[in-house]
Homo-oligomer: A and B are copies of this chain.
Amino acid sequence: MVGVYDVYRNSAGAALKDADQVPVNDPFGAISAMAAVTNHVGFGVTAAVTFEQPYVLARRLSTLDHLTKGRVAWNVVSSYLNSAALNIGMEQQIGHDERYDMAEEYMQVMYKLWEGSWEEGAVHRDKESGIFTDPAKVHPIRHDGKYYKVPGFHLCEPSPQRTPVIFQAGASPKGQAFASRHAEGMFILTTSIEQSKAVTTKIRDQVEAAGRSRDSVKIFTLLTVITGASDEAAERKYQEFLSYASPEGMLALYGGWTGIDFSTYDPNQPLEALENDSLRTTLESLTSGHDGKTWTVKDVIRERCIGGLGPVLVGGPQKVADVLEEWVDEGGIDGFNLAYAVTPGTTSDFINYVVPELVKRGRAQTEYKPGTFREKLIGTDTPYTEDTHPAAEQRGAYADKESVQDKTTDSNFAEEKIPQAAQ
């Protein structure tokens, strides 16, 4: 995310102090190093469609797809931080709905570059004829839209997946409509299995309405798992983590996510006394599963210092595996967007304690399917998007259109060869 959390106390001070997503380096930078020492893991990289021209970002993502041998996913965001917009010279953040209109056109440009510009077989690499690329099979995309103008052809030769696996996390109606067309992976945030079932059903309904199969999108719900050898050990760990937590850091994040500055609220105010209806509802939803007590604002903030806005699951391998199975079987999700309380501890705990239990139950794979990230994740037989995905509409769409070859004028040098050097 190119921006900082500066809503709480009208400043990024709390975020800086606690290092709440700041400092934040460029996520693209580290991927090739990680790819060089792994064979199967996929790399999801977040990039906003509002801050960089599609012609440039398409090249950046194709490059990573080449370097990772087809293991890149792109988490498409239309940035929501005002501080980011200001720092790239915009007077203010673009309106929410218009952002999604821009994002829709942006995706069309990307698909044209990735799928349409270079036909299959355009690259010969033929040492005998001296032809690397056949210009007749490379096409300028001639995109001339409302927000973007891209007359040229894609700068990279097609990468293993062409279009990286598309991830999205839109929660608004516009965001959901966008995701139902483009997303192959979706991040959701639900606080209960019942809610998850409702959300995933709605998403799959929308995906189906967009002409795609219900399981063509893989849905991941945000979850923080604190685990250990036993339920008691996990609970002790959780309590220890909470003792290190920072309420102000939580409020810095919460301010960025929601736009609400908590600094003027009374920490000891019971939730039911809050006058702001939408805030009260939001906070009450974060207390679900903890009935029978009067929650104060402070209670919610403390509770949420681990797990952010998502649920926290504390327990030993059996308990965790039971709940995960329930999320999948009852909640309709495909997997988990695992957040961490400490790094790498939260992740390695999950690997050491939970994964073996899931394998025992036949719920986790023991080896990777070969191929690109898309083949591993979606289970497709090719590295490319399914035919029902909008990227597929651009596949071969330029084959009978203008090519780079067409434009070439005559040349007196066209027949020149150098059989031997001029002396």
Give how many copies assemble into the complex: 2
Chain B residues in 8 Å Cβ range of A411: 8-9, 248, 251, 262-264
Q: How far is the CB of A61 from chain B (nearest CB, A)?
A: 9
Asked if residues B418 and A302 are in contact (CB atoms below 8 Å), the reply is yes
Alpha-carbon separation in the docked complex, A420 to B243 (Å): 5
Q: Establish whether residues B89 and A53, one from each chain, have CB atoms under 8 Å apart when the complex forms.
A: yes
Indicate if the CB atoms of B408 and A156 lie closer than 8 Å: no
Contacts A12-B404, A19-B133 given; indicate if A416 touches B247 (C-beta within 8 A).
yes
B408 near A11 with CB under 8 A, answer yes
Does A253 sit at the interface, judged by CB under 8 A?
A: no
Answer yes or no: A343 CB below 8 A from chain B CBs: no
List B contacts of A390 (CB < 8 A): none
Within 8 A of B (CB), among A378-423: 404-405, 407-414, 416-422
Interface band, chain A: 35 or more
Are the CB atoms of B133 and A60 closer together than 8 Å? Answer: no
CA–CA, A404 and B365, complex, Å: 47
Q: Is A281 an interface residue (CB 8 A)?
A: no
The reply on A64 being an interface residue by CB < 8 A is: yes
A248: which of B16, B29, B247, B416 is its contact (CB, 8 Å)? B416
The minimal Cβ–Cβ distance linking A27 to chain B, given in whole angstroms, is 8
4 extra interface residue pairs, beta carbon distance < 8 Å, beyond A17-B134, A29-B64: A19-B132, A26-B60, A264-B411, A303-B422
